[in-house]
Amino acid sequence: MAPDLPIKRKKVMVTGASGFIASHAVPALLRAGYAVVGLDRLPCRLMPPSERFTFVKQDIAELKDLKGFDYVIHLAFATNIPNAIADPVGTTYNNIDLGVKILQLAKEAGVKKLLYPSTASLYGNQPLPWKENMPVFPSEPYSLQKYAMERFCRYYAGNGLPTVIFRLFQVFGEHQRQDTALYKFFHCRLEQKPIPITQNTAQAGFKSARRDFIYAGDIAEVFVKALTSDKVGKGEIINIASGHNYAMLEIAKLISDKIEFIPKRGFELDEHLADVTLAKKLLGWRAKTDIKVWLKKYR
């Protein structure tokens, strides 16, 4: 009897591997049978190395090539709107210059597909629900950076590197980043302080903002589906959301009964809501995890 040959597993590079979304994406990839290399300039404390997961502590600015990788999920970027407003030069370098570098390295290496997470903030103040074919209104640096990368992803998709763009809505889940609303809500409860909720304009018709929440584990699932799907890879833009929304006040009250209202910042919209038809059509995907159900278990 011939000896068993080692399984040649498809290899995925995940940049930003120490981050929030990666902490869900990497385990999902491992469960799906991939070999994963995670890259980040920060230590990876959420996932220990294993037979199929290797972590490399390195800035993507120092990355030389992506040879040997079948797929890339690019999660290494400077996050959030206030951060980009405060540092437009630094965040533009991280989010555009280094993003294009990853695209070019992936193309040169013959990567089969690259996945890129964009943002729902591109839709601006348009009628709901937001659909992918709507015009975009990037009104601050973070959205401008994401829109530029969407265009670069579409360019590369037409020039030898299959890409998929996911417009993520309000992400939640275990290992929240410290700059997310939910993290701040839990932190306020821990310190026995009121949770600050931005108050809507009178024209909105409801007191606090409404957001379409999406679980990071559900995002990880759509990443896995998209890698090998022959229906995507042409630079498609796909909403990743639940398709329904909740008031932030309603969510905050599930965490604490201490609430205070604060003025709304200029870039904040009263309501977000996604049309998720395309994700179902192209990838057979829909969100499975409701934030209210998750909160009752997680809190």
Structural domain includes residue 106: yes
Structural domain includes residue 200: no
Residue span of the structural domain in which 151 resides:
11-173+213-241+275-288
CA distance from start to end of the chain = 55
Provide the mean pLDDT of the chain.
Answer: 92
Q: Which percentage of the chain shows pLDDT scores above 90? A: 81
Q: What is the CATH number of the domain that holds 283?
A: 3.40.50.720
Structural domain includes residue 205: no
Within 13 A of 150's CA, how many CA atoms are on the CB side? 22
Residue-wise pLDDT for 28-69, tens only, equals: 999 999 999 999 999 998 888 899 999 999 999 999 999 999
Residues 6+ apart with CB under 8 A from 209: 198, 200, 247, 248, 264, 268, 269, 270, 271, 272
Of 87, 78, 121, 297, the residue nearest 209 (C-alpha): 121
Q: How confident is the model at residue 205 (pLDDT cuts 50, 70, 90)?
A: very low
Query: Out of 13-22, 93-102, 139-148, 171-180, which region has the weakest mean confidence (pLDDT)?
Result: 171-180
> What pLDDT is attached to residue 114?
98
Question: Taking 60 as the threshold, does the pLDDT of residue 199 lie above it?
Answer: yes
Structural domain includes residue 24: yes
For residue 290, what are its two tokens?
């409701």
Residue-wise pLDDT for 95-135, tens only, equals: 999 999 999 999 999 999 999 999 999 999 899 999 999 99
For residue 155, what are its two tokens?
């360019």
- Interval 254-281 mean pLDDT: 88
Q: How far is CA 277 from CA 43, 241, 280, in A?
A: 38, 10, 5
Question: Taking 90 as the threshold, does the pLDDT of residue 264 lie above it?
Answer: no
Number of domains, the chain: 1
Q: How confident is the model at residue 296 (pLDDT cuts 50, 70, 90)?
A: confident
Q: Phi and psi at residue 124, in whole multiples of 5°? A: 65, -155
Structural domain includes residue 208: no
Question: Taking 80 as the threshold, does the pLDDT of residue 4 lie above it?
Answer: no
Query: Out of 57-71, 151-165, 199-213, which region has the weakest mean confidence (pLDDT)?
Result: 199-213
Structural domain includes residue 248: no
Structural domain includes residue 299: no
Question: Taking 80 as the threshold, does the pLDDT of residue 5 lie above it?
Answer: no
Query: Out of 147-151, 161-165, 220-224, 264-268, which region has the weakest mean confidence (pLDDT)?
Result: 264-268
Q: How confident is the model at residue 6 (pLDDT cuts 50, 70, 90)?
A: low
Q: How confident is the model at residue 2 (pLDDT cuts 50, 70, 90)?
A: very low
Residues 6+ apart with CB under 8 A from 217: 24, 28, 173, 289
Residue-wise pLDDT for 157-185, tens only, equals: 999 999 999 999 999 999 988 888 888 99
Q: Answer whether 39's CB lies under 8 Å from 11's CB.
A: no
For residue 286, what are its two tokens?
């829909």
Structural domain includes residue 111: yes
Of 252, 261, 256, 166, the residue nearest 211 (C-alpha): 252
> What pLDDT is attached to residue 180?
86
The model scores a pTM over 0.85: yes
